[in-house]
A = this chain, B = another copy of it.
Amino acid sequence: MVCIERLAGLCPPDDVVSPLLVCSVLSLPYSPVIYLDFNRTTPMAPSVVEAMKPYWLTHFMLPGQEHPHAQAVAEALENAREGVAILAGCEPFEVVFTGGGTEANNLGILGGVDRSERGHVLVSTLEHDSVLGATAHLAELGWEVESVPCDSNGLVDPESLGRAIRSTTRLACVQLANPVLGTIQPVREIADICHSRGVSLHCDATQAFGKMPVDVTELRADTVSVSAHKFYGPKGSGALYVRRGLSLRPISFGEPREMGLRPGAENIPGCIGLGAAASLAGRCAGDVAASIGDLRDHFAYGLLSSLGDRARILCLDSPRLPNTIAIEMPGDAKRIQRAARQLAIATAQSDTPPDETTRALRAIGMSGAQVGRTIRLSLGWTSSRDQVDRAIELLADASDAASAA
């Protein structure tokens, strides 16, 4: 594994400090936690913390204040915006800072339509709660919201989506990558179909940035969401790419900031942190994706050889994020999770209302029993082969115990 902090010049070479940096910090007295839930949230990269530091106590002014120090802050904010723009492949003026991915999705969807209209919206079944929540709000306002299914490989078919478009369709929402299955949607083809029919496309790409190259210009979506805490940036910070020329409405109100799309005092340290995380991801993501992909494969095949044909990796043949494994294995997943406490992993939590994991697994046609046997694993920049080997042992043991119970 490439140690990202070393690339960022913030920690000594591998032979002095291992890539277990985060996990050693996380250690309990007797059992260091092996964190395998990077798609939920990541620790901040030390270099991101360092980048934010000057803006807490020293450069604490807001860009709107009438002092040269404030102008320096304004410049730092624009540099951070440029960092996000470079990672996303767009122009800085197409980047709107938000308070996170959820707000970016709400702004892209609720700000992307005229809410007083009563149009038709298409939403893939794999979407995040914030996308489903925003479209459910449109439904409350009288909009028709139609689900677009995915196939058993976790992929949305562009042609099927195209067939669902009506004359009243205003917006389609399709994510770039799924946090549970890891599947990557053909967003470019979907965008082309949408645009040929005069429909806008909102793409939640929060799970993709930092894990794979994302070029929003090539994606051709009209709005694209970014969440800093998904790639080693601060929580409470995100951005929305807004294609130049697209007319968007703000969803909250106040002193005009961020091209009139997001009011309120700027969270300067949060924006700087996102910019720093974006620069780090841009610099390191290629190397990291390759090595994480190798480690993911080692993990998957290790699990399969320990568990035999009683286990199954989901959506194995689909284009997938390099860090993600969803695996159906023998035994109750929650029981496995409890038995393998040294691992931080994710399982389906609730059927009514279904959580994100349950929804994704149901969307590919799994039964309730299958959902209850599935574990969601995601690797990160600090994941190591030692951790993965230990995780294979622990999961195999816990699965044996749980399936024997």
Query: Which residues of A are interface residues toward B (Cβ below 8 A)?
Result: 22, 25-26, 33, 37, 40-44, 46, 49, 56-58, 60-62, 64-70, 99-103, 105-106, 110, 128-130, 132-134, 136-137, 227, 229, 234-237, 251-255, 263-270, 337, 341, 344-347, 349, 356
Complexed CA–CA distance, A68 and B28 (Å): 11
When the two chains form their complex, are residues B67 and A33 in contact, meaning their CB atoms are under 8 A apart? yes
Q: Are A60 and B40 also in contact (CB < 8 A) when A66-B337, A99-B236 are?
A: no
When the two chains form their complex, are residues A252 and B57 in contact, meaning their CB atoms are under 8 A apart? no
When the two chains form their complex, are residues A265 and B41 in contact, meaning their CB atoms are under 8 A apart? yes
Q: Which of B60, B62, B134 contacts A44 (CB 8 A)?
A: B60
When the two chains form their complex, are residues A22 and B57 in contact, meaning their CB atoms are under 8 A apart? yes
Q: Which of B25, B43, B129, B346 contacts A263 (CB 8 A)?
A: B129
User: What residues of chain B lie closer than 8 Å to A42, measured between beta carbons?
Assistant: 60
When the two chains form their complex, are residues B57 and A40 in contact, meaning their CB atoms are under 8 A apart? no
User: What residues of chain B lie closer than 8 Å to A46, measured between beta carbons?
Assistant: 57
Complexed CA–CA distance, A64 and B106 (Å): 21
User: What residues of chain B lie closer than 8 Å to A237, measured between beta carbons?
Assistant: 236, 267
When the two chains form their complex, are residues A235 and B58 in contact, meaning their CB atoms are under 8 A apart? no
Q: Which of B62, B101, B265, B269 contacts A102 (CB 8 A)?
A: B265
Name 14 extra pairs, CB < 8 A, besides A41-B62, A46-B57, A56-B234. A37-B67, A49-B56, A66-B346, A67-B341, A99-B236, A102-B255, A103-B252, A106-B252, A130-B253, A130-B255, A133-B253, A227-B265, A235-B270, A236-B237
Q: Which of B49, B136, B253 contacts A137 (CB 8 A)?
A: B253
User: What residues of chain B lie closer than 8 Å to A64, measured between beta carbons?
Assistant: 40
Complexed CA–CA distance, A40 and B264 (Å): 12
When the two chains form their complex, are residues A263 and B102 in contact, meaning their CB atoms are under 8 A apart? yes
19 contacts across the A-B interface (CB closer than 8 A): A22-B57, A25-B58, A37-B65, A43-B58, A43-B60, A44-B57, A61-B344, A67-B341, A69-B344, A99-B99, A101-B264, A102-B252, A102-B265, A128-B254, A129-B263, A130-B255, A136-B253, A234-B269, A236-B270
